[in-house]
Amino acid sequence: MTLPISLSDNISLPVVAAPMFILSNPDLVIAQCKMGIVGSFPALNARPAEELEVWLEKISSALEKHNASDPQRRAAPFAVNQIVHSSNDRLEHDLALCVKYKVPIVITSLGCKQFVIDTIHSYGGLVFHDVINNDFAKKAVSKGVDGLIAVAAGAGGHAGTTSPFALIQEIREWFDGLLLLSGSIATGNSILAAQAMGADMAYMGSTFIATKEANATNEYKQAVIDHSSSDIIYTNLFSGIHANYLGPSIEAAGLNPKDLPESDPSKMNFGVDNKATSVKVWRDIWACGHGIGAVKELLSTEDVISRLEHEYYVAQDRLLGK
């Protein structure tokens, strides 16, 4: 489909950088947007709740200043991820701030509620919704979301198990709206491949963990550089919902990645109650997608996006026989 003007006029690559719990912060988002991809962060990363307004002010001001100084290369819009699950007692507070700052895009996860969509639409914002299967996609579209994010097998953090080929094909049978694809996308080649399958944009996160701006420990960043898809474990133990994590971080917490118990999905949580090690999910158990094999070194966000852009256009030329 044709991208909304806010995206088509201000992006250098058809990419939305996925919001990463703990890791995404204003510096990362600003760097992503300045380089022409949509940057995003989870609202819950700004803690305490009052800090969210500080973050929104910082990002908005930085991008406005950039656009004023370089009107020929305007920054891409930014997005805020809202967890719509009942466990999020900040949702209404955080939505009110999205309205106040007219956040261009809100990404909804773990629930699709009409009042959230209506709130963002009230000022002209766009709502993209995470889905892991065709049924969830139909429900989200019926409620009026502006775009779908197909979270396929291999995505970092909470992910589905369906092949991206199958998931995109099934959604495209009935949906001609804005569609993003998530799952192991870490190179310019895979961005182009996502479009070839029928997606409009790629949705990628893990490749930005090993950047200078990301709020990850040096050990976490180095682990992403050192490991590959064979080191990723898919489990629901840590949050109640299946997600992909780096196996070595699970081992470091004193657990056996190959013998993890099942969690009760009705009791979703964002931490691990391990009194012996004080382990917490996301902080100590590191989320990561299958695409990390493409991450070879610690780089600035600017350098990562420059690499992706180069790979993307080289791949286009190769397919066109140039």
On the question of pLDDT at 275 being above 50, the answer is no
Where in the chain are the domains?
9-211
Q: Which position has the higher pLDDT, 72 or 187?
A: 187
Q: Do residues 233 and 245 make contact, with C-beta atoms less than 8 angstroms apart?
A: yes
- On average, the pLDDT of the chain sits at 92
Architecture of domain 9-211 in this structure: Alpha-Beta Barrel (3.20)
Residues near 46 by beta carbon (within 8 Å), at least 6 away in sequence: 52, 54, 55
pLDDT in tens, 202-231: 999 999 999 999 999 999 999 999 999 999
Measured CA to CA, the distance from residue 268 to residue 109 in angstroms comes to 13
Orientation angle between helical segments 164-172 and 134-142, nearest 10 degrees: 40
| Residue 139 confidence (pLDDT) | 97
Place of tokens 């991820």: 81
| Residue 1 confidence (pLDDT) | 58
| Cα end-to-end distance, the chain, whole Å | 26
Q: In terms of C-beta density within 10 A (0-12 exposed, 13-18 middle, 19 or more buried), how is residue 71 classed?
A: exposed
| Residue 266 confidence (pLDDT) | 59
Q: Rank 67-71, 222-226, 276-280, 317-321 by mean pLDDT and report only the highest.
A: 222-226
| Residue 279 confidence (pLDDT) | 62
Query: Band of the pLDDT at 123, cuts 50, 70, 90?
Result: very high
| Residue 84 confidence (pLDDT) | 95
**Strands lying side by side in the sheet with 232-235:** 157-158, 243-246, 232-235
pTM as predicted: 0.93
On the question of pLDDT at 271 being above 70, the answer is no
Q: Do residues 33 and 24 make contact, with C-beta atoms less than 8 angstroms apart?
A: no
Q: Closest by alpha carbon to 78, among 40, 44, 128?
A: 40
On the question of pLDDT at 91 being above 90, the answer is yes
pLDDT in tens, 154-197: 999 889 999 999 999 999 999 999 999 999 999 999 999 999 99
